[in-house]
Structure 1
Amino acid sequence: MPCVTKTHEQTGAEIPRARWRLIGPGLVVAATGVGAGDLVATAVAGERFGYTLVWAAVLGCLIKISLAEATGRWHLATGRTIFDGWRTLGRWTVVYFGIYIVVWGFVYGATAMSASGLPLAALFPEGPSLRTWGILTGLLGLVCVWFNRYAVVEKLMMVFVGAMFVVVVGIAVRVSPDLPALGAGLWPTLPDGSTLYTLSLVGGVGGTITLAAYGYWVTAKGWTGPRWIPMMRLDNRVAYATTGLFVVAMLVIGAELLHAADIALAGGDRGLLDVGDVLEARFGAATAKLFLIGFFAASFSSVIGVWHGVSLLFTDFVARLWPRALPAEAAGAEGAEGGADPGRERARERSWPFRAYLLWLTFPPMGLLWLDQPIGLIVTYGVLGAFFMPFLALTLLWMLNTDRVAGEWRNGPVSNVMLAGSGVLFVVLCVQQIRDLPW
């Protein structure tokens, strides 16, 4: 349905003092990034090491705050998209990104549909097969994004964030966490044999390519120009603080339910079904079903977020290389105060490149569901994600330390340390992912 409400930039009004009411894009990117794989990773961390790696989960959230903040700051301070910025670094970035987004979308589409179908198949064991549930969730995600604009997508994501948070945090409280041990876990320590696993936990919490979509969601919200940077930072920090609580709650569930009972989870997203079984044995079927609802909310929110956000990224890719591919209102000039025009972003949600990528995410990947190899899909998706994160971190480090950005909005020491450190971390994880492949 068309959105006719004018943004604060378009009306020239002051940014409201009650800024918390405007929070939205950060929760969208955080909810999109935290999927079933992150739930499994944190539950396994609790199962294997108790509360020892709480600090790693928190550090992972801080890294994602830095990456999302840098992405949003680039969009608002320069009035240019992140893909515009990549193009200034050379033709190699265009080739890399173009190949990556096509291959990644094909694999991720199947992975996301499979992950969203798992809890539904468990909730309705007499119903359709896992494959059918996966296809239905993919089609539902397509419909939700095809017929709605960002404002509606954001509201849907808020519902899923609420469900994820209430269910998982509520269960964590119910299992009675060991608060002294939880506090002690904030001190960085590395148990024997945990180094590579800890690196994966730090690097894996909260998103891959979807972090690059944050600036597009900021623009779609109507935030344009440098004066919205403080609002963007608040939005980003609140979102990832919420994510941090959510992730720590999942680690508590792993520590209290699995570590003490010496129960090992199955690989991949199916490990969450094991958590549901343990919850049912300890608290009854109702609690297990609530957990599966939270599992579905985490998985399906990633479907909607990726279907929308990465489609915007692909649309920008097409717009910069073939401007005539978009209608005039979708390929228009820059907006007020040097920011991208939110009306242009809304037009792009109706453009053929946006919808073509939506279809690419939905229909070709369905063929992979017939392979009945959900774990293989997860491994392949993990490897592809590992190839993007070093690219994102190191290119942001490059762009935000040059005259491409006004001096007052360039990186400070903390941002440089976080981006450089995360870039090195993601390179190490990428090499490890390749080494762990079953050649």
Structure 2
Amino acid sequence: MADAEQPQVPLATTTDQQRPSWRLIGPGIVVAATGVGAGDLVATLLAGSRFGYTLLWAAVVGCLVKISLAEATGRWHLSTGRTIFEGWRSLGRWTTWYFAPYIVIWGFVYGATAMTSTALPLNALFPQISVTVWGILAGVAGLAFVWLNRYGVFEKAMTALVGLMFVTVVLLAFLVAPNVPSILLGLVPTLPDGSFLYTLGLIGGVGGTITMAAYGYWVNAKGWRDATWIRMMRWDNRVAYIMTGIFVVAMLIVGAELLHNANIALRDGDRGLLDLGAVLAERFNPFISVLFLVGFFAASFSSVLGVWHGVSLLFADYVAHLRKRTLTVDERERSTPFRAYLLWLTFPPMVLLFLERPFQLALVYTALGAFFMPFLALTLLWLLNSKRTPPQWRNRWVSNTGLGIAAALFIIVCVNELAGIVQDVF
């Protein structure tokens, strides 16, 4: 498609936009909750346990980066009337060549990861049932819920899970009695020795996955279909990621006060959260540990539901455009490709629940995944500064700065991931 082609959608002025309303907030909560999983909790905990409050500023910067990315995705959908995949297709067929293997391999490995993460707290609460069985049950439960319900019910369930994990973690932060002067000092950017990778993880990892590209689809599913909803979308996005910022800061406080000061080390990976549960039981009482495990489950299962729904929407749109068809928002949720990808996320990955992740598959998954966030940031910069976007909704300097920082950050993360792969191979 030529760059000069103008989108055939009505333009909205600044005076006829939908006013922000608390009761309409939803898609932002969904995308933020989906992006914040158990792995992000562990990364934040480990950063707090090893560096105290020193990297608090990185968590704040990370939330600002995610606000820029999600806002750009939502603005593209609403200002042009086209999906993000349509935007990618307009940039050339090379986007399809990248996206096809990525979404297939990513879904296979992520399905097993998400099911295992959800199974860990359930196994800790009910050890009579193995992690493998709990993982299978979690995957099937996610499949059944997304298959049988539409966006409205899905959003309510996600909001409930977000509320549960938010209250749990913020309560823990209050219980460990945060050091306010140290928190304020942590807002000053510094990089202690050995903290570079943790800083990248806090800025680039928390709340940032392929599901950020699904935000525009959830915005449309909410009923926001044109530029009159951009003001509301921005409000929704900011509120959601401010909540995410509070959540991340609370988790870092727990790591700093409970682990760093006591010189307690956690295991890497999701099982480190089980170690924290044991520490909480010893420091406070078993009830607090159980409460934390419930929050751990909420964070993990919200990612299951969010990925099962959001990435399936992306896949349905991808297949529709390969077939030169256009699906409405409602048709995507009922389409065969949507349900086929749901099945792909659920059943084939169960094989990995019984086996260690194959080394070669892990390398391909890591390599493809490392490229996605730079791909998203750079293509949004391209699309929203071109004639594909109506003039009044193109990027201004604030958006370009935010997306430029995001692109640079994710390129650094990508290079670091690829360097790790080279080391593993050779």
Provide TM-score, normalisation by structure 2: 0.93
Residue 372 of structure 1, CA deviation: 4.1
2:352 paired residue number: 368
Q: What code does the residue aligned with 2:322 have? A: L
Distance of 1:258 and 1:404 partners within structure 2:
50
Structure 2 counterpart of 1:32: 34
Identify the match of residue 353 of structure 1 among 317, 320, 337. 337
CA RMSD for the aligned pairs? 1.8
2: CA distance, partners of 1:21 / 1:172: 28
Q: Deviations over 1:62-99 (max 9, x none)?
A: 10110000000000000000000001111100111111
Give, in angstroms, the shift of residue 15 of structure 1.
Answer: 7.1
Please list the CA deviations of residues 147-172 of structure 1 after superposition, one character each: whole Å capped at 9, or x if unmatched: 00000100000110000111000011
- How far apart are the structure 1 equivalents of 2:65 and 2:206? 9
Q: Counterpart amino acid of 1:295?
A: F
Query: 2:383 maps to what in 1?
Result: 399
Contact 2:18 2:228 in 1 (8 A): no
Whether the 8 Å CA contact 1:78–1:405 is kept in 2: the answer is yes
Which residue identity is paired with 1:161? V
Q: CA deviation at 1:289?
A: 0.6
Tell me, in whole angstroms, the C-alpha distance in 2 between the residues paired with 1:322 and 1:358. Answer: 20
Bigger mean CA offset, 195-204 vs 134-143: 195-204
Q: Distance in 2 between matches of 1:180 and 1:272?
A: 27
**1:383 deviation in Å?**
4.8
CA deviation after TM superposition for structure 1 residue 183, in Å: 1.2
Alignment correspondent of 1:318 = 319
Alpha-carbon shift at residue 17 of structure 1 (Å): 4.9
Q: Aligned to 1:86, which of 71, 85, 88?
A: 88
In structure 2, the CA distance between the partners of 1:246 and 1:106, relative to structure 1 (3 Å rule), is same
Q: Which residue in 1 is equivalent to 2:266?
A: 265
Q: Give distance in 2, aligned partners of 1:75 and 1:291.
A: 37
Contact 2:59–2:248 (Cα < 8 Å) also in 1: yes
Could you tell me which residue of structure 2 aligns to residue 389 of structure 1?
373
Match of 1:108 among 107, 110, 114: 110
* Paired residue type of 2:87: G
Please report the TM-score for the alignment, with normalisation by the length of structure 1: 0.90
What amino acid does structure 1 have at the position aligned with 2:265?
A
Q: Which amino acid aligns with 2:36?
A: V
Distance 1:373-1:290 versus aligned 2 partners, 3 A rule: farther
> Is the alpha carbon distance of 1:279 and 1:384 closer, same or farther for their aligned partners in structure 2, counting shifts above 3 Å?
farther
1:65 aligns with 2:59: no
**Structure-2 residue corresponding to 1:245:** 246
Higher mean C-alpha deviation, range 426-435 or range 84-93: 426-435
- Spell out, residue by residue over 1:275-331, the C-alpha distance to the aligned partner (whole angstroms, 9 max, x if none): 11110110111000100000000000000000000000000001111146xxxxxx3
Kept after mapping to 1: 8 A contact 2:373/2:407: yes
How far did 1:207 drift?
Answer: 2.2
Give the count of matched residue pairs.
408
Distance 2:253 2:407 in 1: 29
Match of 1:149 in 2: 150
Residue 424 of structure 1 is matched in structure 2 by: 408
- 1:25 CA drift (Å): 0.1
Partner AA of 1:91 in structure 2:
R
For residue 382 of structure 1, report the CA deviation from its aligned partner. 5.3
> Match of 2:82, SS?
coil
* Number of the residue aligned with 1:42: 44
Superposition deviation, residue 385 in structure 1? 3.0
Q: Secondary structure in 2 aligned to 1:86?
A: helix
Asked if 1 retains the 8 angstrom alpha-carbon contact of 2:17 and 2:227, the reply is no
Q: Distance in 1 between matches of 2:77 and 2:307?
A: 19
AA matched with 1:347: E
| Residues 27 and 414 of structure 1, relative CA distance in 2, 3 Å threshold | same
1:293 and 1:376 map into 2 onto residues whose CA distance is 34
Q: Does the CA-based 8 Å contact 2:81-2:226 persist in structure 1?
A: yes
CA distance in 1 between counterparts of 2:94 and 2:360 reads 29
C-alpha contact 1:111 1:374 (8 A) present in aligned 2: no
Deviation at 1:256, TM superposition (A): 0.6
Farther off after superposition, 221-230 or 372-381: 372-381
Take 2:307 and 2:390, find their aligned partners in 1: how far apart are those partners? 31
Structure 2 match to 1:224: 225
Q: 1:134 corresponds to which letter in structure 2?
A: G
> Which residue number in structure 1 is paired with residue 302 of structure 2?
301
> Retained in 1: the 8 A contact 2:18–2:232?
no
Report if aligned partners of 1:114, 1:130 keep a CA contact under 8 Å in 2. Answer: yes
1:262/1:378 Cα in 2 relative to 1: closer, same or farther (>3 Å)?
Answer: farther
Cα distance change on mapping 1:158 and 1:300 into 2, 3 Å: same
**Deviations 1:379-431 (CA, angstroms, capped at 9, x unpaired):** 87655432210000000011100110111111111111111121111111111
Counterparts of 1:268 and 1:378 in 2: how far apart (Å)?
Answer: 15
Residues 375 and 38 of structure 1, relative CA distance in 2, 3 Å threshold: farther
Separation in 2 of the partners of 1:177 and 1:253?
A: 8
Alpha-carbon deviation of 1:247? Answer: 0.4
Structure 1 stretches lacking a partner, 5+ long: 1-13, 325-330, 333-343
In 2, the alpha carbon distance for the partners of 1:193 and 1:320 equals 46
**Unpaired runs of 5+ in structure 2?**
1-15
